[in-house]
Structures are given as C-alpha cells and as structure tokens.
Structure 1
C-alpha cells in the first residue's frame, strides 16, 4: 500500500529561498511533497484554497498580506493546517505573536535545513496522531449510532438485552413526547424475489442514504432501518400536525429517486424508550389500511381505534403464541386445531366484523413473519391473503381463507428440500468466515448468506460457537496470522492485509491482545523453539 504523502506549500518573496527549500529538504523521506509555491500572502491564500495543504512554510514579513495575517485568515477555514514560520533575528515579536496565534513552529534565518527537517518530522508525527484521533472519534460515533439502533430494535422486539444498560447512548432524545413513522416499500416480497442479493443490498443502502439526507433537515429525532424493506423515523410531538405532509414528502422522495412505491404509517404519541414497541405496533396497525386500498398512502393511527370494539373483544395474545409455536415446529394438525380455537374465541366474543377482521389481519401478519424468518426459500404473498380476508362475507369464510393459506405455507415449508437444521447452517456460516476472513467481512453479509435475520443469526451463532461474530472472526484472523508468521518470512506489516486488517498498527494491537505477544515477539519465540 502506497504511503500517504502530506502536501506542503512554500511561501517567500525571495526566489532563492524557495529554490533552496525545495532542493535541500528530503521531502520524500519525510512522507511529504511540495504541492505549490507562492511569492506573497495573497497568492498563498489562493493556493491554500485550491490545494488543501497539510503544512505551510512561510516567511513572517512579506509585502502586502504578511505571514501572521495569512495564518489568521486561513485558520478560519482550515484550523488543522500546520504553519511553520521563518523569521529574522530582529523579528522576535512577530515570532511570539505567531506562536500565540497557533503556529506549529518558527525558525530563525539563515535557515538551518536540518533544523527545518526535524521540525517537519515532528509535524508529520502530529498529523498522524491527529488523523488517528479523528479515526477514533469517528469509530466511537459510529459505535454509538449502531448501539442506539440495536437498543431501539431490541426494545421494539421486546427482548431484555444488556444494551439496556447503555441508555446513555440515547442522549435522552426520547424522554420527550414523540411519535413514530414506519415506512415500508409496497409489494416488497415481489421486489425481493426479483432482486439478486447484491441488487437488494444496493437498493436498501440507497434508500437509507436518501432517508438520512432528508432527515437531517426534517427536524426529526432519529431514523434507522428495522426490518428488510422497512425504516423507522421518530419525530417530536410538536410536529404531530405535520404527519400527512411528512408522509407524502417521504413517499414522493422515494419515488423520485428510486421509482419505487412506499407507504407510511404513523403511531400514536408516546414518551420514553420503553414505549417503542407499542408505537411500532400502533404505526404498523395503521399501515394495515394499505392492504384494503391496494396502493401507496399515508395512514395515521387514531386515538380511539383499538383491536377491541364496543362488543368487548380483545386481541388473543395467548392464541397467537400457541399458533407461533405450531408454525415453528411445522405441526400441521396443531395449526388446524389452533385456528379452530381462534374461531371459537371470536364467535364467543360476538365480534363485530371490523374487530374480527382486524384480529385476523394481525394474526396473519405475525404468522407470515414467522414463516419468513424460517427462511425456507418459499415465496408467498401476504397482501393476497389479507385481501382475501377482507373480501370474505362471513367469519366462517375469513377463517377458511386463513386456514387454507396457512396450511399451504406449512406444507411448502415442510416439503422444502433445502431446509437444513441450524447446526448445519451455523457450520456453513463458520466455513464462510474461514474462507473470506481476509475481506472486509460484515455480520450483515454472513447473516444474509445464512438466510437469517441479523438478530436471529447473532443468537444462533453465539449458541453454536460460544463466540460472538466479531470474536470468532478475530480469532480466525489471528490463527491465520500465526500460521503465516510460523511458516513464512513475510514481513510483519505485510501480514496485516493478508488477514483482513488494512492498518498494520491496529493488527499488532489485536494480535497482542489475543496472544499476549506482538507478531514479532511471536515469530521470534517460535523460531527459538
């Protein structure tokens, strides 16, 4: 990998000094290059704007814009630029002012080229440290964002995670009253079936970028992907009256940039992180209306709409749990028996049609997601099922549509020849990691290869291997590095990219953390045996 070179601009009104600086300093050895020269402050100002240098070496006293005035103007736009000034013996006050204003160093005339080279060497070290700090800050910000999204996801899914102890990452943005928007791509099942894996990743990545760019100026609190083809956006309650406008803006935005159709459901008002799950249910329930209108739209949850009606019916959560267990175990007889219990419950409750239909719609969505999470490779249409339920004239007809459809899905799942037990799937995942460890391998890529959701993959991988994905990938890379160090004469810094690390220093840190030795120490200890 080619070493980075830092750009330098030389500024002096004496041409002989410019030639001397260019010729006498070993720029290449210092990982530097002279990007431009200027004879006065005004010309230097233009060069700085064009070339974006890292270091500027300038005489303090020049006609027109002097060195200190140049630094003050440049630092307003580029505060990280390093200034090294050259001053005469009679200009000590200038030098002191330069250091007070933030100059990196100053040297006296006549110029001692070795002293200047030493100063530049310190500047390079400071630049590298500055870049390392910037990378660390970026990594911490990224980690904070990922942890927040993971925490929100786990709260919505109802799991009690150790991440709950990291609530400081939220900066209390959900302590105020807020509401949630759920954006879903219309007819996503058909889109997903038509896209290749790379196409799907590209489309979803593009939509996330579109939403995040729009969100920056929206006044919202946060935006992140939740399920495939679905994004969650959270807004403060003060924007409640703008729901319809925001929803139509989002739909128009997605259509304009991707030609894809989407719908948006808005939740009831909530407060605090613990209400994320309720808000998500509220927003997705509002989206059920889309299946009746058969088109894109903006749907808002109403305060007075609940699963129950004046007849006193409520959602049968215990029956839902029983049906989910029977789907997971592909118990066809149990599924039939469970649906009969649902029918008996609705009949006993004396449900009016809207309440009965809404309960069956919610059951259908939950069971459909369970079938999809099992990743059997089959393709079914949830929209078609919901439309058939809506078109039914009686409770008996609704139940018949649901029973026939679910029985077919279960039969398809049970007959799927490529269906494998989770042990085999995890073995394949570990093999995939071992074959691709040298790449920039992500958990998204491996979970997608395994045909599992990220959260499901994380759980199964830890159960089967005893390690998290990152721990396993790290151990795999370090084992490969040890093999290379034991059996070849490849230089240590060249080993890093061979095992998936682009930064040799970071590779050394990880290697020592895992083995207790640096790569060099490890090689020497093996050679001594």
Structure 2
C-alpha cells in the first residue's frame, strides 16, 4: 500500500477527510496528519510517505514552502494540493513547481477518491518504469564487456562499426584524452572465458576501471585500450598483473605496449604489439615489451613491417618496395632466415587472416632467403588483387622488378646491365616495357626507390652510418656520391635528415 500524510490547518477539514476517505479500499494508508507545513515537514522526514495531501494556505509554513522543502530531499513524493476560492496566486505558484493534482475546498469525497486513484496510477507507472530501467541497467551491465569486446575487435580488424556501436564508442570515449595505446598480453595457452575475465579484472583493479577503455580476449591474448597518459606506469602495473595472475594460474605471461595513436589507428597499434611479441625471442625473452625507437611522421616507419603502407599499396611495385624494406630492416638486425620466416608468416596472418601464410617451407627459405621475399610479395599481391595477370610480358615485368631489388646494392645497376647481364633481353625492349608499366623512366625509378629506402632506414635506425646507407642502396661505400644524390633529392644531407629524426625523437620523449 502507498503511504499518505495529510497536512491542513483546519481541524474539521483534516479530521473529516481522514474519516470519510476509504483509504484501505483505495490501496492507501493514512500514516499521519499535521496542522501546518512545519509540522508536516517533520512528519514527512519521519514517515517518508508516497503521497502528501496539503492545504496551500497555512500558518508558520504554507503549502508552497512545504512543497519546495520536500522536493529538495524527496523529489519522488507526489503532492495533491487543497485550495479554496480566491487562492489563485498560490495555485499558480504550485503549478510552477510542477504540481498537477488539485482539489477544491470544501472537499468532495468522490472527487478526492478520483484524484487519489490517478495519483496511485502514476505512482504504479513510476515503479514499473523504475523496474524496467533497473532491468535494462542490469542487462546493460552484463552485456557491456561483450559490447566493448566486439567494438575493439572490429577496430583491430578495421571493420566498419555498426551505427549503434559508433554511438556507444563515442559515449565510452567522451571527455577522455584522444591519444591511446594498446596493450596485448599473451599466454602460453588460450584464455578461456573465466581466465580472460580474471586477467581483465586484475588489470582494471590495478590501473583503475576508468583507464581500461576497451578490452577483448582473442585466443591466447588479452587486448586492452588504455589512455596514452598511462604509459609511464604501465610496465610496473603489468608486472604486478602478471604476478597476481600467476597466483590464479601457473603460466607465463608477456605483455607488449604499443606506441601512441588515435582511435582510428587501433589496428596499427595492435600490429605494433604483435610485432613486439613475434620478436620476443630475438635475442632473449622479456616480460614487458615496449618500442624504444624514434617516432616518424605517421608512427609506423620505424616498425619492421609497415602494415599501413602495405595495406595502402595500389600497385605491385609499391607492394614490392614495402616488403623489401622490411626484408632489409631484418637483415640490419641480423635476423636469421628462420626469424625472417616467422616475422613474415605472422605479418601475413595479421594482414589477411589465420589461414593466410607463406606457401614454401622454412628450410627452403633458409637456403634461399630471396625465395622468402618473393613468396611473401606474391601472397600479399594475390590477396590485394595486385598480382600480374598471366601473360608473357606481365611475367617479364615481374621478373624485371625482382631483378631490380635483387641487384639494388650493385652500384652498376644500369638498364643496360639488367637487360644484358640479368634478364638477357634487348635494352630498348627493356626500356619500353618498363616505362609502359611504371609511367617512369628506369633511371628515375631507381633513384626514387634508392633514396626512399635510405629515408626509411634512417628513420628505422638513425645510428646507421652514411657508408652503411650507401652500401644498402647501391652507392659507393665512401658515401660522398650518395650524400650528394640524397641532398639533391630530399633537400638535406643524410646527416641533416638524421638530425631531424633525432630532434623529433626528443620532441616526443619530452611529451611536448
């Protein structure tokens, strides 16, 4: 039953209503009465009724003052106002306070019962709405981790979000810093549902629930989206998380922390953690992995495999350049053929799915690392619809491009040398075929890719000497001619270009 308090300074009116209204049959209980607003307020605080019937004009504290005071502390209490003729000013002020139920004095039993029935229906409606909202909140609370997991997985896979997910993502990330990082924690075995729940709970407890924006469990990985502002404390926090998780399950965990980026670059950030995890055994295993390399303009060129550039490649020769650049970076790091194989294998799986991998066996690529590069390029080209069509000239052009990169370190790599000594074709035919495919003369093309490769390698490792850069890009090892060509192409010497990279590194590391 709903509780009612009656406030009226006229004893006859108050006692009369208490006696004549069939409270019980209306599903109501009159719990108390008061003769003015002040007394009524005290009894309302004591009894906390659902409904208050109050006269509007009373001594000490009138009905308007009572309504205002009660609304401050008990906004859910509903009021029925008793008013007499000529009290329009009071009535209008009550209406301004949102009061919608009035009874004109002297009171009529039937009218009072009608109004009370309406108020009771409104209270029942409120309760039903409150119950529905609570049920919705409970469902939302239970579904929220699954929703966040789906959104994060879509961002990682670069799939278009549904409209509802776009709205939810905007809601999740409103009023927060717009720079993020990805942490991927990998276990030796797959996480089951309980394992994932436990580890995410540990991370949320240590980092603060508000700092784990999104999370997802995928196989043997837990992926979390953090604000970039948490970078400094994350390594220590993750070590604690690993230690706490080991109390629950005896297993070794490894966590990789990406660089910073925007929400639209989530796939790239995830790719960075994958690369760190893949390289974890080169040269030794570590528990927490981070990039300690200089940033470049788009945050990806210092990676061994530049996923962004590969995905955006629009032509076969562009794709070949990106794969070759990764190949050279791994060579500079001293990777074995087996290590290169593992990196490229994981890269193909990340780019195109778990069933997409290198077609030739590892032992074959150990004997001939160039076979590995060709296999990776052809696999990527096939998935990206950039492969050459099957024709004599197309196959000749494919061989020509591979010949360029296979011999790019040769300072004598002229069109004449390639045509006569490598491909055994007429030099004029070579030039026409090359220009028709690339819309560029061979000499201009070779200069462009050599200098572009040099730029990538400087960003990848600013400590490389000019002589090493010259050797990797097919110029005499004294570096003088290379420096001259580099400056003519870029407007800077290699040393000046390196300095800009180092300055940018200081800019980022100082948090500016």
| Larger-gyration structure (1/2) | 2
TM-score normalised by the shorter chain: which range applies? Answer: 0.3 to 0.5
TM-score, structure 1 normalization: 0.45
